[in-house]
Chains A and B, each alone.
Chain A
Amino acid sequence: DVVLTQSPLSLPVTLGQPASISCRSSQSLVHSDGNTYLNWFQQRPGQSPRRLIYKVSNRDSGVPDRFSGSGSGTDFTLKISRVEAEDVGVYYCMQGTYWPPLTFGGGTKVEIK
């Protein structure tokens, strides 16, 4: 199974400052069809996960443009350009290139300093 390793585990951020989360895969996530099926999810406290980014860098409708995804192969990054209070929560990467099974990273908890 593909293992996704996220870092850091915890990310204290000052409001208005940028934040960056890394997701590293145990193997390249480039599918034979040329796509890379790496998604990012946000889970606010007490809520269901919400998808933010799909296929590395495509932002979902309604997701603020301060969120961006990038990367290729085995290294991926979710960036928040200026953290707001509503961004507090746990962020997960997930790969769908090699499934079954779908696999998730362990999560990164974003909190306000």
Chain B
Amino acid sequence: QVQLVQSGVEVKKPGASVKLSCKASGYTFGNSGITWVRQAPGQGLEWMGWISATNGNTNYAQKVQERVTMTTDTSTNTGYMELRSLRSDDTAVYYCVTGDYEAHWGQGTLVTVSS
């Protein structure tokens, strides 16, 4: 079955960068893409962007496009999302998602940005 296992909790100071990972299994990684979605505490779901594991094409949300980079490593079936110049409002749980119509979700990674 499809599994997405995400990296652990991160605590960062404002202005720092964070790089999250998402290790996939149970499907052909190179034939799909990974979407990243975040959820601020007590808030709804916000699309961050998408990357194709086939060719590396990306689409980023306008809100973060200047600060985010999504990559994949097909040798390890892992997706990555780096977010730079962190601010307090980047505090959220970050989910990686894959599959047709966002079928499969990782367990989420909590990123806390605080001085």
Residues of A within 8 A of B (CB): 37, 39, 41, 48-51, 54-55, 60, 92, 94, 96, 99-107
B106 CB-CB contact with A under 8 Å: yes
Q: Tell me which residues across on chain A come within 8 A of B102, comparing CB atoms.
A: 39, 41, 51, 94, 96, 102
The SS class assigned to the A binding surface is loop
B44 CB-CB contact with A under 8 Å: yes
Q: Tell me which residues across on chain A come within 8 A of B103, comparing CB atoms.
A: 51, 54, 60
A48-B106, A48-B107, A48-B108 given; A104·B101 CB < 8 A: no
Bound-complex Cα distance A92 to B37 (A)? 13
Q: How many A-B residue pairs have CB under 8 A?
A: 55
Q: Tell me which residues across on chain A come within 8 A of B11, comparing CB atoms.
A: none
Bound-complex Cα distance A104 to B35 (A)? 14
- A54 with B100: CB separation less than 8 A: yes
B27 CB-CB contact with A under 8 Å: no
Q: Tell me which residues across on chain A come within 8 A of B49, comparing CB atoms.
A: 100
- A100 with B95: CB separation less than 8 A: no
Q: Tell me which residues across on chain B come within 8 A of A50, comparing CB atoms.
A: 105
Bound-complex Cα distance A110 to B32 (A)? 33
- If A50-B105, A54-B101, A100-B61 are given as contacts, then 15 extra A-B residue pairs at C-beta distance below 8 Å, sorted by A number, are A48-B105, A48-B107, A49-B95, A49-B105, A51-B105, A92-B45, A94-B45, A100-B47, A100-B59, A100-B60, A101-B62, A102-B35, A102-B47, A107-B44, A107-B45
